[in-house]
Amino acid sequence: MTELKQEKQNENIKIGNLKLKSKVIVAPMAGVTDTVFRQLIRLFSKECLLVTEMISSEALKYNKTNHITDMAECEHPISFQLCGHKPDLMAEAARQLEEKADIIDINMGCPVSKIVKNTDGSKLMTEPKLASELIKKIKAAVNVPVTVKCRIGWDMNSKNHVEFAKIVQDSGADALVVHGRTRSQLYSGKADWHAIGEVKQAVDIPVFGNGDITSPEFALECLKISGCDGVAIGRGLLGDPGLLHRVEHAINTGEILPPPTIHERLELAILHGEKEVEYRSEIHGVKYCRKFFAWYIKGIRDAAKYRYDLVRMDSFKEVKDYLTAIKERELSD
């Protein structure tokens, strides 16, 4: 890697008045990126931008967020993602979160039916005037940077990513995260990194590419194709929260670090379970972690059987002993 290219890779990304030392951020995932998961990521990356789960402005108004806004001091820098479609309510929600947040992010990308039916999430891409008003209201309400996460359109016949990105920028947003699929695609097909590149060419604010960033190699390819400023990683972190650090390392040095061994994944699964039990109580922590255990053991021989057994366990001791037995079995083979 040439000195000039290395210098460019090491440049900070400026989002409003915030300078990010990392070009990699977490893509918010409902039921996944809670404070415990974010703290696990912090074990690997000290400088990435963490992002909360999607926070409903309606739920926040009536104090029904169920600890979704909980965070630890080590999580900074952190972005709080808001979901909603009522400008005044969204602005008030942003004010409530400002004390904790380094950034307020507006969800304009969630494709889930129960979200879009209320004109929230990716449905806002079909309502550009409302989307603009939301950004302006929130921008006026807080003193931290405001960002937007969106897709490339509602469906393949109404892709409006370039026009929408210009509206987002003109409305005052400080950065944009673009998932390279339409709403109708959900998570099927391949993310269109070229379309993300079209957004990057159309605006001056930082643009992060999102979608199919499941390895350091794919992260580098996305950056090369799109020319975007950084990448946002979501589903690739499932069962592998250290991926974010390996992507950072690849961007900064060009070196590809190996993925975690089965032993390391199982050790992390146990630690993850311990932390969720500490945070939520044993019964709730074990139940909450069942989906995570399935991701940690994915690809292991007899994973289907292990998954079947793990989802029926209510005691963390039982879970820990079971995962330890799997680890020992794998080490002995």
3-state secondary structure of 290: helix
Are 326 and 297 in contact by the 8 Å Cβ rule? The answer is: yes
In a shared domain, residues 57 and 171: yes
3-state secondary structure of 254: coil
Q: What pTM was computed for the model?
A: 0.94
Q: What is the CA radius of gyration of the chain?
A: 20
- Domain CATH code at residue 169: 3.20.20.70
In a shared domain, residues 271 and 245: no
Residue 5: what pLDDT?
43
In a shared domain, residues 174 and 273: no
Domain termination residue (choose one: 230, 253, 276): 253
In a shared domain, residues 150 and 212: yes
Domain termination residue (choose one: 226, 253, 280): 253
In a shared domain, residues 273 and 249: no
In a shared domain, residues 135 and 61: yes
Residue 50: what pLDDT?
98
In a shared domain, residues 181 and 107: yes
* Active-site amino acid positions: 110
Q: How many domains does the chain have?
A: 2
What averages of pLDDT result for each successive group of 10 residues across the chain (333 residues)? 44 93 96 97 97 95 86 98 97 96 97 94 97 98 98 94 98 98 94 98 98 98 98 97 98 97 96 97 96 95 95 96 93 76
DSSP label of 63:
T
Domain termination residue (choose one: 210, 227, 253): 253
Residue 2: what pLDDT?
39
- Domain CATH code at residue 310: 1.10.1200
> Whole domain around residue 164: which residue ranges?
3-253
Whole-number Å distance between alpha carbons of 126 and 158: 9
Residue 7: what pLDDT?
44
In a shared domain, residues 234 and 125: yes
Residue 10: what pLDDT?
55
What is the SS3 assignment for 92-155?
A: HHHHHHCCCCCEEEEEECCCCHHHHCCCCHHHHHHCHHHHHHHHHHHHHHCCCCEEEEECCCCC
